[in-house]
Amino acid sequence: MIYVIDAHLCFAGSELARKRNILFTAMTRSKAWLRVSGYGEDMRSLETEYERVKQNSFALELIYPTEEERQKMNLINRDMGPKQRGQIGKKQKDLKELLEALDKGEIYKEDLPQEILERLRERLFNNGQS
């Protein structure tokens, strides 16, 4: 019997490809019984996905992504070490704090260097390119 705990973590988030591979491997290695547990909206979404596969006689229908979609998926789902995850988390926190300060009027966009605003605008709104 195989137990999969916290399966909801395999529906979204960082390193999704690795987590999905682990879930798929656990499910396909079971010789008799499989118990999958999790909670929350991501678990409900995972259950919905499972039910679709079950209704299709357990046949997986895969949609092959375009080159652009594959590049984006590879970027989003890339493997990262703890140091890189920590750096990204800190930068996300810093950005959130900056936005909150702007919202509260503690800082104004005019307080930010024009070069940085232009670079942000270019990075964020230039056809989604990084």
pLDDT tens, position by position, 73-115 = 888 778 788 899 899 999 999 999 999 999 999 999 999 999 9
Number of structural domains the chain divides into: 2
CA distance 58 to 49: 11
| Residue 32 per-residue DSSP state | S
Q: Give residue for tokens 């010789």.
A: 31
Q: Give residue for tokens 């079971």.
A: 30
Residue 65 lies in a domain: no
pLDDT-based confidence at 129, cuts 50/70/90?
low
In the predicted structure, residue 128 carries a pLDDT above the cut 60: no
Residue 47 lies in a domain: yes
More confident residue, 118 or 63: 118
Q: Does pTM top 0.85 for this prediction?
A: no
Residue 108 lies in a domain: yes
H or E, element range at 35: strand 34-36
Residue 50 lies in a domain: yes
H or E, element range at 109: none
Domain extent, residue 12, equals 2-55
Residue 101 lies in a domain: yes
Same domain, 14 and 49: yes
Q: Give residue for tokens 């232009």.
A: 118
CA distance 29 to 7: 16
Residue 118 lies in a domain: yes
3-state DSSP call for residue 2?
A: strand
